[in-house]
Amino acid sequence: GQTNRLALGIFFLILTALCSMFIPYFAGKMTDAVTIALTGDPARAKRKATEAFYGILIVSILGGVFQTARSYLFNTASYNVVARLRNRLFSNILRQEVGFFDSVTSGSLISRLTADTNLLKNV
């Protein structure tokens, strides 16, 4: 079922977290570049600032890509689980005896098929 999709989603979740941890590292490098500029070595400061800027840019883009992949995988997995649950619930409703439908209202059944199964998407 959805195990592989969720495992891959967890992998992208970890990659997103790792990218987030690199932002302060490169921000520190940018601060170092400012300090170097104040000490009178503008060429080295410019090189360090450029490296830090591109580091932040690359890590941010990768983090966004990983976050998008994670969201897609988790959302599609949850939608598939809910769809499968709805199908199973509907099949079980259809297999009930006629007397069951005398005691349960159609509104209650529709509510179970839509609202209650939708609650599982956010779990």
Q: What is the mean pLDDT of residues 85-105?
A: 85
The predicted structure's pLDDT at residue 123: 66
Q: What is the mean pLDDT of residues 57-71?
A: 97
The predicted structure's pLDDT at residue 16: 97
What is the pTM (predicted TM-score) of this model?
A: 0.75
The predicted structure's pLDDT at residue 86: 84
Q: How far apart are CA 69 and CA 63, in angstroms?
A: 10
Amino acid at 92: N
What is residue 112's DSSP assignment? I
Q: What is the mean pLDDT of residues 63-75?
A: 96
Dmax over CA atoms of the chain, in Å, equals 89
